Amino acid sequence: MFRTFRRMVPQLIQISNSTSHNLVRKCSTVTRNNTPRVQGLAPNFKGIAVINDAFKEISLDSFDKKYVVLVFYPLDFTFVCPTELIAFNEKYQKFQELNTEVIGISIDSHFTHLGWMNTKRSAGGLGKLKFPLLSDINKIIAKSYNVLLENEGIALRGLFIIDPKRIIRHMSINDLPIGRSVDESLRLIEAIQFFESHGEVCPANWKKGSKTIKPDPKGSKEYFQATNE
């Protein structure tokens, strides 16, 4: 089935872009750094997003002093993509409680984003979203974050967690057919913030409230002894 989707991609892009190219006056831009990496500085960007049924220019710097989760996805009006964005929307309040903003990004125009958000979920649409949906119609942002499939002209399912100092703390990329776990994104943010606040590191499968490890040979034995009795 997904092979069929891959063959459809160029046609979908052509349909989406044929009208939007004539309408779009502002495209996304990016301040280039080296290839994105964990512990490296996140590339800044600027583009037009849909927020509360309105068009607004945003940048990474628009969310000063916040954590940011960038959610790249292939295309509007497709299959896995709405399930992911709706899932992030349903947990949006939890992200807010963690001082975190979510930004969805695809190569579609902001006009297409708005149309998708005004489509009922029962028809494959998004309905109302609480977080920005950013247009990357010229593909500059996807390319700067190294998630662009050059031949297909769409982004892989890249997810980046960026801290308030604009440092990338987590990055992962799923292939096109595979959706992401919103709960795992929340868990990672909680782990990052716990370390920042307490200085202790989080072991495998850590969840908020679970035991952590003092990052030194002597202190770590407390954890290993407690969990391996």
The DSSP string of 142-195 is HHHTT-EETTTTEE-EEEEEE-TTSBEEEEEEE-TT-PPPHHHHHHHHHHHHHH
Q: Residue 28: exposed, middle, or buried by beta-carbon count in 10 A (0-12, 13-18, 19+)?
A: buried
Any idea which residue has 């202190």 for tokens?
A: 219
How far from chain centre, in Å, is Cα 186? Answer: 12
Of residues 30, 49, 50, 81, which has the active-site annotation? 81
User: Contact 157/175 with Cβ under 8 angstroms?
Assistant: yes
What is the rounded distance in angstroms from the CA atom of residue 116 to the CA atom of residue 100? 24
Any idea which residue has 């370390």 for tokens?
A: 195
Any idea which residue has 């004539």 for tokens?
A: 22
**Annotation marks residue 81 as catalytic:** yes
Active site residues: 81
